[in-house]
């Protein structure tokens, strides 16, 4: 490995760019590897905003309480306390970087979202928060003299004796494999929404970081918990498009195809119930009315308010022939966000020394079984900062010790499987949506895990970006299906029709590690 850097950052969303900028501030040399262009990421699709207890009547304790409640018994309390207490300082950092949060009467404007007890959501450009943060950080990363290699997909994490040494990357344009030696690697590759037929995630969300980490020997936790956003636009011929939870926070009402408001019949919190409850409620209404959608109605709000508060959603819908100030928005659930991922401690460390994870790829423990809305962008900046604080100690000669997880570890089942042809991406997405989706059962999960194991064995060696991505998706799908099969209860975003209630015996985590 001829080339060498202090930091190799894999991914160019907010997690990658934010840690890259902080790494440059502590004097580290930084290489950013991204399989697409630097502007392709999941972050820019984050509409709702970023949560922080900075408003009157709010406090870190209230934010802590709401986060723990949403996590349904599986949050790591220490990680959540760090999240809520460090939030105001990290917001200040983003302001210093130039993120243009919306203001009202000279103060940062705050709105409310489901399961938050007070208004604590900061936003930028109305409903374009992620995009504004991404654009700001992308510009600064270029100015900070980070070396950025686009269209460069990391194919392998090199580990020797439990210590990270470097990465092997595939050049998507030439097909060449290149090696990079680095002191630290930060996995920041986002989620795995492309596992599912309907998702709010872009094409790049193929679980690459989780697959890479698992193959390298890192621990993978809470893979059964994936959040399905209840309200994605459902129009013929239009890919699912996120309709922010903030729309309901501002007074939007869910109605079925008979124009009846229905959420009060499913939860005392009505339209502001947690996402998993709303998603399952919508499925039930769709089934009972024989429809493939419900409607989110904000026509009772002033048209000027809707256009100003949700300009991105308003324009997108208008471009597809729908004026949301006059007609309700057709919506249905779609895969949105992974609570599980690469297990880290409160400093972003994995069980492999020198390998870190940040953002949706990581499982820091702050989300538990069900992420509280708008905590994801906050998680990135809080724990991204802590990663750089930890690694800066090494650059200063003060040492680094990776802490291994304390949970019982599982290995993927050795499933007997018949010979199978390699699957198409669409076949994988349909299987996952139908069998490992919003409502699950043991029988369907077992069949799915066996099918995924057969598909994994049928794959040849990857030779281009789509084949690398498909291999990663199948592995991540197996981890998800096996974890969901093991967890014989319903908790948070994980719902089993054969075990429809939570069980105290399952108030624990499922951790996978590859057999050595």
Catalytic residue positions, numbered: 275
Q: Which residues contact 476 (CB under 8 A, 6 or more apart)?
A: 192, 195, 207, 210, 211, 223
183: CB partners within 8 A, 6+ apart: 5, 6, 7, 354, 391, 394
Strands (E), 146-257: 147-149, 152-160, 163-171, 177-187, 220-221, 226-233, 241-242, 253-255
What is the rounded CA–CA span in Å between residue 413 and residue 419? 17
Report which of 249, 242, 302 is spatially closest to residue 111, judged by C-alpha positions.
Answer: 249
Q: Is 207 left (phi over 0), alpha (psi -120 to 50) or beta?
A: left
Whether residue 199 contacts residue 193, with contact meaning beta carbons closer than 8 Å, is answered with: yes
Q: Give, for 447, the enclosing helix (H) or strand (E).
A: helix 442-458
Residues facing 349 on adjacent strands: 356
Q: How many CB atoms lie within 10 A of CB 325?
A: 18
Please tell me the chain's helix, strand, coil percentages from 3-state DSSP, rounded to the nearest 5: 35, 20, 45
For residues 279 and 438, the answer to whether their CB atoms sit within 8 Å is yes
Which burial class, exposed, middle or buried, applies to 96 when counting CB atoms under 10 A from its CB (0-12, 13-18, 19+)? exposed
DSSP-derived letter for residue 326 is: T
Tokens of 400: 């680094």
Q: In degrees rounded to 5, what are phi and psi of residue 78? A: -60, -40
> DSSP character for 221?
E
CA distance 26 to 512: 34
147-149 and 329-338 beta bridge pairing: unpaired
Q: What is the dihedral sign for C-alpha 87, 91, 92, 96?
A: positive
**Whats the size of the chain, residue-wise?**
516
């Amino acid at each position: 490995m001829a080339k060498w850097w202090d930091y190799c950052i894999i991914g160019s969303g907010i997690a990658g760019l934010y840690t890259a900028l902080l790494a440059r501030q502590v004097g580290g040399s930084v290489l950013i590897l991204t399989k697409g262009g630097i502007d392709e990421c999941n972050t820019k699709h984050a509409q709702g905003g970023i949560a922080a207890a900075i408003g009157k009547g709010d406090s870190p304790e209230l934010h802590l309480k709401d986060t723990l409640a949403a996590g349904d018994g599986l949050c790591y309390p220490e990680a959540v306390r760090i999240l809520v207490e460090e939030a105001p300082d990290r917001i200040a950092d983003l302001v210093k970087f130039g993120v243009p949060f919306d203001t009202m009467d000279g103060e940062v404007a705050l709105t409310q979202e489901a399961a938050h007890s007070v208004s604590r959501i900061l936003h930028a450009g109305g409903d374009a928060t992620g995009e504004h943060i991404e654009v700001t950080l992308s510009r600064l990363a270029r100015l900070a003299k980070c070396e950025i290699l686009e269209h460069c997909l990391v194919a392998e994490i090199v580990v020797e004796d439990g210590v990270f040494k470097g990465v092997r990357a595939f050049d998507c344009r030439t097909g060449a494999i290149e090696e990079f030696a680095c002191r630290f690697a930060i996995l920041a590759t986002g989620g795995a929404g492309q596992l599912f037929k309907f998702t709010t995630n872009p094409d790049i969300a193929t679980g690459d970081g989780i697959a890479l980490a698992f193959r390298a020997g890192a621990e993978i936790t809470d893979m059964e918990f994936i959040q399905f956003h209840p309200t994605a636009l459902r129009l013929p011929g239009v890919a699912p498009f996120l309709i922010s939870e903030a729309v309901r926070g501002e007074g939007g009402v869910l109605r079925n195809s008979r124009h009846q408001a229905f959420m009060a019949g499913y939860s005392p919190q009505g339209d502001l119930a947690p996402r998993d409850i709303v998603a399952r409620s919508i499925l039930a209404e769709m089934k009972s009315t024989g429809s493939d959608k419900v409607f989110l109605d904000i026509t009772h709000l002033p048209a000027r308010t809707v256009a100003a508060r949700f300009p991105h959603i308003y324009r997108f819908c208008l471009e597809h022939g729908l004026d949301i100030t006059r007609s309700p928005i057709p919506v249905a659930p779609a895969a949105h966000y992974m609570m599980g991922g690469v297990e880290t401690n409160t400093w972003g460390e994995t069980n492999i020394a020198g390998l870190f994870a940040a953002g949706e790829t990581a499982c820091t423990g702050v989300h538990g079984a069900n992420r509280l809305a708008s905590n994801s962008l906050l998680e990135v900046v809080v724990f991204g900062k802590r990663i750089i604080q930890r690694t800066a100690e090494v650059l200063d000669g003060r040492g680094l010790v990776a802490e291994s997880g304390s949970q019982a570890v599982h290995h993927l089942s050795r499933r007997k499987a018949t010979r199978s042809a390699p699957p198409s991406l669409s076949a994988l997405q349909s299987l996952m949506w139908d069998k490992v989706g919003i409502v699950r059962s043991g029988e369907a999960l077992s069949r799915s895990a066996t099918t995924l194991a057969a598909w994994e064995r049928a794959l040849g060696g990857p030779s281009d970006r789509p084949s690398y991505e498909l291999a990663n998706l199948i592995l991540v799908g197996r981890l998800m299906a096996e974890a969901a099969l093991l967890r014989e209860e319903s908790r948070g975003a994980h719902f089993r029709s054969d075990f429809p209630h939570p069980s105290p015996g399952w108030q624990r985590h499922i951790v996978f590690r590859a057999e050595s």
